[in-house]
Structure 1
Amino acid sequence: MEISIRMATAEDAEALVAIYAPYVEQTAISFEYEVPAAAEFAGRIQKTLERYPYLVAERDGKPMGYAYASAFHDRAAYSWAVECSVYVEQGCRRGGVGRRLYQTLEELLARQNVLNVYACIAYPNPGSIAFHQHMGYRTIGHFTQCGYKLGRWWDMVWMEKMLAGHPECPEPLLPVGTL
């Protein structure tokens, strides 16, 4: 069975919330305390798609994971930098789904003229750190005890990957819908 990658729609919200819920309820991978309602999640998808890719990996029409980019910072000078997130259904982890999602996401971001990609990772999280290192990211920052969840304090690590060189006059960021 082949994995396909496609752009998400608001109609994917319920299935994607089901993938996301264990991360919220059982881990510090997400610092959210409450699982968002499907309607709120649909709004997040639509908001992201105004500018950035929001991808779904599926097999036989069933979502197995998703990845998306968001603004690294709202100010215009940061237009060429994004933060990326990936979530894979618990039973599908370590099967290449996350890698396929990130590869496709990075290809789209490069076509949008994005240059810097960041990942914000709760620490310790050796699986996510190893995944990002394998994908070419390097650690650039470590924040100590900055998030409290599940009865303890968590550190945060920032990792970075450059998708391209930094020209003297960069091309403008292209909204994903124009590709």
Structure 2
Amino acid sequence: MDGFEGQLIALAPRLRRHARGLTSDAAQADDLVQDTLERALRYRWRFRLRPGAWWGDGADGLLPWLLTLMHRLRLNAVRRKDLVVAMETLPEVSAPATDPGLRRDLLQALTALPEAQRAVLLLVSLEQFTYAEAAQVLNVPVGTVMSRLARAREHMRILLDGTGRPQPATQATDPATTLQRVK
């Protein structure tokens, strides 16, 4: 299998990793990857007809297109179900064996994030997309990506901090360190 099909096969592990981060369930992730690859094969002509698009040609450019398909399929599934399923078991994601408790905490914190924040965090942190590329994949403005990412990072920090709630801001007593409005 050369060409388009070969590129899809080569990108399948990355799609599966990303789908597991989105769904937090191995079976749902596999279904999402299968639906994404099926749709990519069905609509391969759309990728080839867009040579001037931001994702370009080849395997490097195919991944953003596939992730766009995956996110749209995921949104459609969430809208159809419109229910939250509690995670019974942790997904099998490879992680450093040094601290299995940290892995569990990270997965639980990631699962606790709202869907939109989790998607942005995975695209920027895990897939290492730029803000513009993540905005293109999610079909939102770049500013929305930046604000969702900031909220996701803050939410993760709070969840991993152990307190489960935001820390109160410290009051600055030195007048030189306080902000003043200048008009």
Q: TM-score range by the shorter chain?
A: under 0.3
Q: Which has the higher helix share?
A: 2
Q: Normalised by the size of structure 1, how large is the TM-score?
A: 0.28
TM-score normalised by L of structure 2: 0.27
User: Rg larger in 1 or in 2?
Assistant: 2
**Structure with greater proportional strand content:** 1
